[in-house]
Structure 1
């Protein structure tokens, strides 16, 4: 039987790190700068110098360790591990120090074993990417010393590897025999599950990332219908892990409840006699050298003590839920390093004991991980990040996989995992991804940072401020788009980041909160500038005079890179997964999501029929009322009377959706004037979580409340009010984004890439109607629900608008409660362009 396989980096990360968790900022090179630094070192070596030396070795015929050493000079007898860095080399981080040396020594042992060497000089070569200065730290080792170090690492890792192999065998056997928890599938649920499983199978067969877009209505059980086949694919299609990604925290709760239903019966989890049957970690990780912030080489530090014995494993599917850092932090008033936070002090020394106890937990949900972490005196947030490596299913936010620095994607690439990715409520990913890959330079952050800066850092910030002011002053309009990121701005940003790094390394500048925020803004802008292209805008928005009255705000504009088409950033993440399934009740039209999300042309599509009967939902189109800006004053009375009439005809709970808080308030005032007995509750702009819970608590089986809310807000999606808790909705808007220079600039980018008509639709019509359908979807949540929807606006009568509404809706013409209100402009004919329809907003 084949031995388990582990990459050198993964082995050392598991067994060799020690000391404090230290996340104080240190400037680090980009990936391209790191590669260039490696290349410069290699180019200056003798002709016989070997690069990217592939190495492999066995430990006790049970563990195969693989990797690629950066370089070997056979004439000098020197193996080199190259690390790039910025700033000063004195900024040592203990866990980086231990990791770098362990990697170099492990490669040294593998080389001695492969070539029969009895002695070897092991060198850590640190290269400053800014100055090209090199520091070489060497140690002369015998082959026996290197083997002893190697054996110690492998011994520590092997006990865990054997337990992991046993868990993997039990898990896959359990997943192969997993039964659907409810016996029978709901209508449409089986079709969805089959499509998901086929995507996982296609990815396994082709070796390329298979993608599926699944539009499925509320009520069929989309979460169970997607998770179940992916768990089956763990056994039959070789998936290592499943990532379930959500747009909101409420989605995590739904996913965890579904996964709890799918927990298989306990399986035998005795350590296997050999870890041969499961590959614990792929050798793919060995291909990429680390270019993390460097540290000086340690002085022959011994490896940490052996791991404690593993606690008896709980034979369960390991489901890990990741929280945002601000929700998981125990000491938000402290910095993440051992001198400040007690849970960071000695983190890597205490991590092995916590890790060894983790398999015995009944679940890996946030409360359980927190209890375990605090029992061992370490940070819960970073313990959860460590446990990602040993989980079966990870439930997290979109950011955890799709962001530029996403943990789940980075580990997938490093470890060579075969993963299935489920993207819940995937219609949200367009806007979320745009924000992930956008960055701006705020004049207020710049001004506040300048107050905290001294010496060269303040000088660099002054140059940056002058650059921003000069760019703003050259513009004749309040909003302008440039063809490229100005080189003068890039130079000024680079000087700021270099000055901050040098001043910090020299101990001349502490990073206050505002200065650190500005520094991160500068780094993000520089990173996105490297990838700038026709998928993004560089824009300048001059601030109104009153905005600059804020303290310390002297710069006159916000400058930034605005992502319009996330596709170039997301496509590599789709390709890294064995299968990606994006599912939602609203993925219409498919081309819009395929184009913007970077899905390949081979993406499969499935559109699940609704389980609901058309007579469950009455959909009334009120064409006599215009909700355009110019007509809103005239629309108030008809809308108020329509709501009151419907409430009198069918008493119960209703939601009314409006395009803005101002519109909402004006309708509320008219309702109170004309129908004072009608019970109202209003969403407010400053409503917090407790306020939202209180708002929803007012919708009971026996109440008769009319709630006035904003379309696209927190009550328009992800709200579940089944039965009599909600029997109807009024949508007094098409939800079209506002006309303005920013949206018009985005429209031009989309038109240039996809065509003029698509530019209009992609900017205005499709995002607006998506919000409408999501809001209306609050009414019918199960096969027993009955309800009514009123779509209020003359544009709902247009064929191209109706084509974007759910197929099962039967639209009925309805009259307003009072005299018709005409639009301020003639209604375009059905053949008019979507752009014209949008501009009538």
Structure 2
């Protein structure tokens, strides 16, 4: 009889699976930051004797289950193990079900120590360390080795049925993936190159940047080879990360295609969605006294987990159905099922944000993961937003007016320091070389005072004040890692009271993202627009040995007529006189070849000017326009106007919802007009970013303006040719498109006219 394969689990994960019970309780209680937690553990350790050891690596086994972890502290002389939990506020506020979980972890470590050192008994201690008062609350039990072994084995036995199924699933999964065939009769042009490069990157344990044109099937061309790489590379998970919901849908469709070819393939797939998109009771708080789905959540979770694991694809809809059947929260059920899924589809933030779920689980469980970054050109701006924080003085003043009297002194001190920052301003916008020490000290004192108040009185602040508090915490945390990758800027608006808006503005996210790439076996970043390669490699912090491929487009130059319209300037100072020529140009092309077109502009204001002129001058031509803050149904209605055999002009903003990520093949779209180079607005903020880019990389203008702008142009133009049978035209409207530094950034397969008369089209 074959010996069962060993299954390894972290102590924390074992205890969470077997010992968590009661309510889901997410009432806000101030928690220490990661730095505070580390400092708290160090403080406790410094108070112990010379024989005290911290972070003791331990492992044990029950049948074919291996358990590993690190005990916070062990005093061999006193024969005492400590599980240290840092917190803020009174220890008696810690919920009972949390305390039971902490005891379970402490006792497991107690048994692993008894086993390793052959101890007959040990003192098991829970040490709750209050960060603010630097005070310990110690709970302890003297336990025999037999007692602890029995406890450990009982937890393991509760987990063994699941372990056996997980081992069986992994064996079956890997066997199926090893035999998996590409679901189509043949690869599309360029698709095989992409797939082979992706597989090779996983085999070599390297990152890959893949620039691959629209229409070759990048999604399935990357998912398929990484699934094939799972067995030989012993990959635990594949994370498919995207910036938009449309990207998630494409990933799930790709998995469905693979399943259709291999219906019995035992592959578990889950879609992660934001909490506000799936919450069943948005009017209720996340705890058992408010939300019925939080009450007894952990008691009902095992049955819900059993049902969920039987579903091959846990899409948003399927998760909701399973959660409803077992009366649990769908959002937190999805977080639990992430642990037991093979492919996870979700937003960038689930792996790259500062408190990312997938990165945290990867580190805790020591998973071997492969990450796919869909439409990777979007990661730069998204990552900048993740590591940027703002504080508005008006919001602070509103919070200060309603704050309890006990906060008066620290808030007054912060107000004075804030005013002092604003008073030094000679311009509406300035970048300071460093964070003013007085302001930093006042902010830290104020957040500490609020934290201390909330630890004792959780309901002391209203919703508006709590929002400011969370913003201030995020701001403070970013200041802890402040460096040349970010700016500290101040914007001052004059008025009855000067309002100073402070911002920790990330410019280069590379230092934050680099550890995320290092945590993966491979990360494959793919997009139709990843040029220039060094721009994205530098700003995202990719490893030096990152591979690069530029997949040749399957399209021919004859499919796309590219028109450089040199006689029109779309510069801001020339826009008024450009309106009529652009409207006439669009009308002339439409008359020559009626059909569906998209016209892109640099702003809504510019769009509205040209759209109005077009409507007045050419009333017989159907037209529709993107509006500010469009709802999802309104966006759907805009796209619904593009029908086979249809005719008309859709007016849109470059870089917006209709400039990338939409698929209009055939005669759904036969042409595009792009009346802008897409360059970011010239303002003080972007100029400061340009200076910082210049200091860091030496190509400040290109990194800040040119590369991001032309990328948006190429993405918008890419809406026209989607398949090898499409035919269409693109009008690039601005004399600057003819400049060599711009033309070299346009796709190589485009045939660019070298000589055109002014204003030709």
- 2:120 equivalent in structure 1: 118
Q: 2-side partners of 1:817 and 1:800: how far apart? A: 21
Note if contact 1:638-1:816 (Cα within 8 Å) is conserved in structure 2. no
Note if contact 1:479-1:540 (Cα within 8 Å) is conserved in structure 2. yes
RMSD, matched Cα: 1.7
Are residues 1:55 and 2:69 paired? no
- 2:523 equivalent in structure 1: 580
Q: State the secondary structure of the residue aligned to 1:343.
A: coil
**Superposition map of 1:12-23 within 5 A:** 12-23=15-26
Question: How far 1:54 moved relative to its partner?
Answer: 2.8
Note if contact 1:453-1:509 (Cα within 8 Å) is conserved in structure 2. no
Are residues 1:511 and 2:458 paired? no
- 1:596 equivalent in structure 2: 539
Partner residue of 2:234 out of 238, 243, 252: 238
Question: How far 1:400 moved relative to its partner?
Answer: 0.5
Partner residue of 2:147 out of 145, 148, 153: 145
Q: 1-side partners of 2:220 and 2:331: how far apart? A: 28
- 2:304 equivalent in structure 1: 354
Partner residue of 1:718 out of 639, 661, 674: 661
Q: 2-side partners of 1:785 and 1:801: how far apart? A: 25
Q: 1-side partners of 2:8 and 2:623: how far apart? A: 64
Are residues 1:538 and 2:488 paired? yes
Are residues 1:808 and 2:758 paired? no
- 1:160 equivalent in structure 2: 162
Q: 2-side partners of 1:620 and 1:675: how far apart? A: 22
Question: How far 1:459 moved relative to its partner?
Answer: 4.2
Q: State the secondary structure of the residue aligned to 2:252.
A: helix
Q: State the secondary structure of the residue aligned to 1:76.
A: coil
Q: 1-side partners of 2:371 and 2:281: how far apart? A: 32
- Return the TM-score normalized by structure 1: 0.88
Note if contact 1:641-1:817 (Cα within 8 Å) is conserved in structure 2. no
Query: Kindly tell me: are residues 89 and 666 of structure 1, through their superposed partners in 2, closer, same or farther at Cα, counting changes over 3 Å?
Result: same
- 2:577 equivalent in structure 1: 634
Where do 5+ consecutive residues of structure 2 fail to align?
Answer: none
Are residues 1:255 and 2:257 paired? no
Question: How far 1:436 moved relative to its partner?
Answer: 0.3
Q: 2-side partners of 1:218 and 1:678: how far apart? A: 30
Question: How far 1:356 moved relative to its partner?
Answer: 1.8
- Return the TM-score normalized by structure 2: 0.97
Question: How far 1:726 moved relative to its partner?
Answer: 0.5
- 1:650 equivalent in structure 2: 593
Note if contact 1:639-1:816 (Cα within 8 Å) is conserved in structure 2. no
Partner residue of 1:395 out of 345, 351, 356: 345
Moved more, 788-797 or 626-635: 626-635
Q: Deviations over 1:679-719 (max 9, x none)?
A: 11111113211111111111111221111111111111111
Q: 2-side partners of 1:702 and 1:461: how far apart? A: 64
- 2:190 equivalent in structure 1: 188
Q: Deviations over 1:757-797 (max 9, x none)?
A: x1110011011101000000000011111000000100011
Question: How far 1:526 moved relative to its partner?
Answer: 1.1
Moved more, 572-581 or 78-87: 78-87
Question: How far 1:573 moved relative to its partner?
Answer: 0.3
Q: 1-side partners of 2:303 and 2:581: how far apart? A: 68
- 1:381 equivalent in structure 2: 331
Question: How far 1:509 moved relative to its partner?
Answer: 4.4
Partner residue of 1:502 out of 435, 452, 456: 452
Where do 5+ consecutive residues of structure 1 fail to align?
Answer: 204-209, 268-314, 549-553, 821-841
Q: Deviations over 1:587-613 (max 9, x none)?
A: 010111000000111110000011111
Partner residue of 1:727 out of 653, 667, 670: 670
Are residues 1:335 and 2:285 paired? yes
Q: 2-side partners of 1:725 and 1:224: how far apart? A: 24
The number of equivalent residue pairs is 756
Q: Deviations over 1:321-357 (max 9, x none)?
A: 0001100111111111111111111111111111122
Q: 2-side partners of 1:95 and 1:702: how far apart? A: 63
Note if contact 1:27-1:501 (Cα within 8 Å) is conserved in structure 2. yes
Note if contact 1:496-1:519 (Cα within 8 Å) is conserved in structure 2. no
Question: How far 1:640 moved relative to its partner?
Answer: 1.1
Q: State the secondary structure of the residue aligned to 2:390.
A: strand
Are residues 1:693 and 2:695 paired? no
Q: 1-side partners of 2:460 and 2:554: how far apart? A: 60
Q: Deviations over 1:122-172 (max 9, x none)?
A: 101122223221111111222222122112110111110110000000000
Are residues 1:415 and 2:349 paired? no
Question: How far 1:816 moved relative to its partner?
Answer: 6.6
Partner residue of 1:31 out of 19, 31, 34: 34
Q: State the secondary structure of the residue aligned to 2:93.
A: coil
Q: State the secondary structure of the residue aligned to 2:435.
A: coil
Q: 2-side partners of 1:357 and 1:678: how far apart? A: 55
Note if contact 1:56-1:110 (Cα within 8 Å) is conserved in structure 2. yes
Q: 1-side partners of 2:534 and 2:184: how far apart? A: 35
Q: 1-side partners of 2:422 and 2:643: how far apart? A: 54
Q: State the secondary structure of the residue aligned to 2:659.
A: coil
- 1:683 equivalent in structure 2: 626
Q: State the secondary structure of the residue aligned to 2:372.
A: strand
Moved more, 679-688 or 434-443: 679-688
Q: Deviations over 1:69-125 (max 9, x none)?
A: 222223322211122222222221344212211010111112222233222211011
Note if contact 1:712-1:771 (Cα within 8 Å) is conserved in structure 2. yes
Q: 2-side partners of 1:610 and 1:38: how far apart? A: 55
- 1:229 equivalent in structure 2: 225
- 1:300 equivalent in structure 2: none
**Superposition map of 1:743-822 within 5 A:** 743-755=686-698, 758-812=699-753, 814=756
Question: How far 1:33 moved relative to its partner?
Answer: 2.2
Q: 1-side partners of 2:735 and 2:53: how far apart? A: 73
Question: How far 1:666 moved relative to its partner?
Answer: 1.1
Are residues 1:213 and 2:209 paired? yes
